[in-house]
Structure 1
Amino acid sequence: MLENKIEQTGFKEQPTNLEIERKFLIKALPVDLDKYPKEEIAQGYLAISEDGNEIRLRKTNDQHFLTIKSQGADIRKNIEITPEQFKALWPQIINNGINKTRYLIPYQSKTIYLDFYKEGLEGLITAEVKFSNEEEMKNFELPDWFSEEISYNPNYKNRNLSAKGLPQEYQEYLNKFSSTSKEPMKENLGIPEYELAPGINKLVNSIREKLINQKPVIVEIAGGSASGKTTLVASRVKEIFKGRSLIISMDDYYRGQKFMEDEVRQGHILNWDQPEALNLELLKTHLQALQQNKKIEKPVYNFKTAEAETTEIIEPKSVIILEGLFALDDTLKDQGDVKVFVDIGPHGRFLRRLLRDIERTGQAPKDILKYFAQIVEPMHEKYIESTKQNADFIIKNEYEPTVEAERSGLHEIQLKFKTAIDEQVLRKLGAEKLSVSIQVDNYYNPSDRNLIETGEILRIREEGGKKY
């Protein structure tokens, strides 16, 4: 029996309470994921009996355990072992080892264990919650980013993932999140769209498929300003493939302030949001070299001086991630093996940029709005939106007002009461009239959403000859 096998080891046993586990696929990533603690987990199986019992070997950060687990996870015994014992036992595991990054997310009175699988299972993301009893489980309200429950699907059990790999049905699950947008341009393009989490899964799976027959694989990730192409998509791919990957930022290929000034003297007025401001030909040459497993000498752009003052040697890796506004420009598109456009509407682009630049640059909101309206948005429509047609698929990362406004800390709460107040009563209470103001409020809808439905307000207030 497995229990006898464990007892003969002489390892110290740690009792574990009975627990109920529920496991889910997800349809979106929680906001500010990187602020939560995380664990690096490696686990494998030394034995699995016909009745479903198992002996599991697990490393969680610097802790090492042998675990005996009964069918259905109703009974579990944890035995702490030394790193040396773990190292000696690891070659004895059956099937493949499982490696994953686990985020610990507090929610209600519980902890959500969000697992990003790696090394053969890249792209699979699951969420797990543990309960002490059924009443606790029944009272738990699922977060809105949870999707299909897989608690009772044997294909998603870790021991089966170890033996059989990703379930075939998982790709079918991802395909359910593919949608055709109602915008005419996208309909004509016929490019599949995915929400953020399924889209990242699709991206990772596409990279993994390419890696079977070729190395390196060049991944081009484009999108408008503040779309999340860098912080949410490119960085997540880098985290999954780790040392086998590298990120190249297109920002390093800006030609610099001196070039822009020389262009002005020649009568060419450029801005930083058009492709001519970057040396795309040099970038293309560098991508071609990396594809041939050759190292490159990449410029390093300094935003403070607005010049590329130094260079660095970049060695080729299995996965090369190019991210930037113009990553899908016609000059570069043929170098990409996997091509993705991260999409967000103009309303979301502006609000994210506004919240970002207020904190990052200290600019006044009116100056940010002016630059966005006069430069950023026209350049997006002219040079970036059109490159969407070069994408293999689109990842939608739309602005969520209820989440992102709270995260920014730049919001207010107002309490209003409908009532008639007698000024004489106020004076008796010691109130003194300071001024009288007349306000005219004008309300607007952006072109890409109905603010009544999203609970937002876009208002311009006229007061005292000024607009706010």
Structure 2
Amino acid sequence: MERQVSNNKPYIIGIAGGSGSGKTFFLKCFLQHFTADEVCLVSQDDYYIPVAHNMTAEENKLYNFDLPRTIDSKHFHDDIISLMNYETVLKQEYTFNNPTAVPKTLEIKPAPILIVEGLFILHFKDIAEKLNLKIFLETDEDVALKRRLKRDLEERGYSNDDVMYKWHNHVVPAYKEYLLPYRETCDKIVVNNTQIADDIIKITDDISAELRHKLFNE
């Protein structure tokens, strides 16, 4: 059940979804309804514990990144606390095991609305209990796999075999164990099987309008 904000703390929205659920596009649409002074975003993806420099290509293929222990959950939680206290956070971005990429330093400035997104945000109890609004992005498995293939083959340079191995052995089991059980605890469940942008834009329009009325009396 949605919790009310108190003590002048930011209103915290948790957006959870498995790989290929469309979180990136959903967030892009959602954030367009707010100014940089009104909202900030902290992503679980930036809290992976770096391991790529110690691994061979074969080890990288077999390593399971879809487990809670691959996330520096304490650092993740501590940065959320800082933002709740209206303190700016500096965080080095995660470069998805690309040893040639030069990571940027992310500056996350606090705002009245704090969005926390990621696969394990409902599993991490100390984070989940701080969320005022929980949004669950749900996608059929075949649709999510098509999106994952497109991203990993085109954007991250993985082979088809690598993607399929991780999908069946890592991605799907993690989703079923660490995210799906929390589906019914969420305030809003967004089914995102469409490739039609207008459908998600309409949903983010509606949610954003509710929040602007609730938080900014608009």
Counterpart position of 1:345: 140
Counterpart position of 1:433: none
Q: How does 1:364-379 map to 2 (within 5 A)?
A: 364-379=159-174
Q: Which amino acid aligns with 2:154?
A: E
Cα distance in 1 for partners of 2:40, 2:103 equals: 21
Counterpart position of 1:460: none
Counterpart position of 1:395: 190
Counterpart position of 2:79: 286
Cα distance in 2 for partners of 1:372, 1:308 equals: 27
Contact 2:41 2:108 (C-alpha < 8 Å) held by counterparts? no
Q: CA deviation at 1:311?
A: 4.3
Q: How does 1:236-315 map to 2 (within 5 A)?
A: 236-243=29-36, 244-257=38-51, 271-303=64-96, 304-305=98-99, 311-315=105-109
Cα distance in 2 for partners of 1:319, 1:306 equals: 34
C-alpha spacing 1:364/1:313, structure 2 compared with 1 (3 Å): closer
C-alpha spacing 1:388/1:357, structure 2 compared with 1 (3 Å): same
Instruction: For structure 2, list consecutive stretches of 5 or more residues without a partner in the other structure.
Output: 56-61, 198-218
Aligned residue for 1:252, secondary structure, equals: helix
Contact 1:328 1:390 (C-alpha < 8 Å) held by counterparts? no
Cα distance in 1 for partners of 2:167, 2:194 equals: 17
Counterpart position of 1:131: none
C-alpha spacing 1:294/1:226, structure 2 compared with 1 (3 Å): same
TM-score of the pair, normalised by structure 2: 0.72
Deviation by residue 1:330-380 (Cα, 9 ceiling, x = unmatched): 241012111111011212211221233232234443442232112211121
Cα distance in 2 for partners of 1:341, 1:396 equals: 8
Q: How does 1:126-141 map to 2 (within 5 A)?
A: none
Q: Which amino acid aligns with 2:34?
A: F
Cα distance in 2 for partners of 1:293, 1:253 equals: 20
Q: Which amino acid aligns with 2:51?
A: Q
Contact 1:288 1:335 (C-alpha < 8 Å) held by counterparts? no
Aligned residue for 1:361, secondary structure, equals: coil
1:354 to 2:138 alignment = no
Cα distance in 2 for partners of 1:296, 1:302 equals: 18
Aligned residue for 2:90, secondary structure, equals: strand
Counterpart position of 2:111: 317
Which structure has the bigger radius of gyration?
A: 1
Q: How does 1:359-438 map to 2 (within 5 A)?
A: 359-399=154-194
Q: Which amino acid aligns with 2:150?
A: L
Cα distance in 2 for partners of 1:331, 1:383 equals: 15
C-alpha spacing 1:357/1:310, structure 2 compared with 1 (3 Å): closer
Name whichever structure is richer in helix by fraction.
2
Cα distance in 2 for partners of 1:397, 1:306 equals: 34
Contact 1:218 1:319 (C-alpha < 8 Å) held by counterparts? yes
Q: Which amino acid aligns with 2:175?
A: H
Contact 2:64 2:166 (C-alpha < 8 Å) held by counterparts? no
Aligned residue for 2:129, secondary structure, equals: helix
Deviation by residue 1:35-60 (Cα, 9 ceiling, x = unmatched): xxxxxxxxxxxxxxxxxxxxxxxxxx
Name whichever structure is richer in strand by fraction.
1
Counterpart position of 1:219: 13
Counterpart position of 1:164: none
C-alpha spacing 1:258/1:363, structure 2 compared with 1 (3 Å): closer
TM-score of the pair, normalised by structure 1: 0.36
Cα distance in 2 for partners of 1:309, 1:229 equals: 22
Contact 2:14 2:134 (C-alpha < 8 Å) held by counterparts? yes
Q: Which amino acid aligns with 2:136?
A: F
Q: How does 1:94-105 map to 2 (within 5 A)?
A: none
Percent of aligned positions that are identical: 27
Cα distance in 2 for partners of 1:390, 1:275 equals: 19
Contact 1:225 1:353 (C-alpha < 8 Å) held by counterparts? yes
Aligned residue for 2:180, secondary structure, equals: helix
Counterpart position of 2:25: 231
Q: How does 1:73-92 map to 2 (within 5 A)?
A: none
Q: Which amino acid aligns with 1:326?
A: F
Contact 2:44 2:118 (C-alpha < 8 Å) held by counterparts? yes
Q: CA deviation at 1:381?
A: 1.2
C-alpha spacing 1:297/1:351, structure 2 compared with 1 (3 Å): same
Contact 2:43 2:118 (C-alpha < 8 Å) held by counterparts? yes
Q: Which amino acid aligns with 2:19?
A: S
Cα distance in 2 for partners of 1:399, 1:215 equals: 35
Deviation by residue 1:302-341 (Cα, 9 ceiling, x = unmatched): 2323999664443211111111112222241012111111
C-alpha spacing 1:309/1:369, structure 2 compared with 1 (3 Å): closer
Deviation by residue 1:369-412 (Cα, 9 ceiling, x = unmatched): 23211221112112221232442221111245xx69xxxxxxxx
Instruction: For structure 1, list consecutive stretches of 5 or more residues without a partner in the other structure.
Output: 1-190, 192-205, 262-268, 405-468
Deviation by residue 1:197-243 (Cα, 9 ceiling, x = unmatched): xxxxxxxxx8xx967984411111010001012212x2222110122
Q: Could you say what the CA RMSD is over the residues aligned between the two structures, in angstroms?
A: 3.1
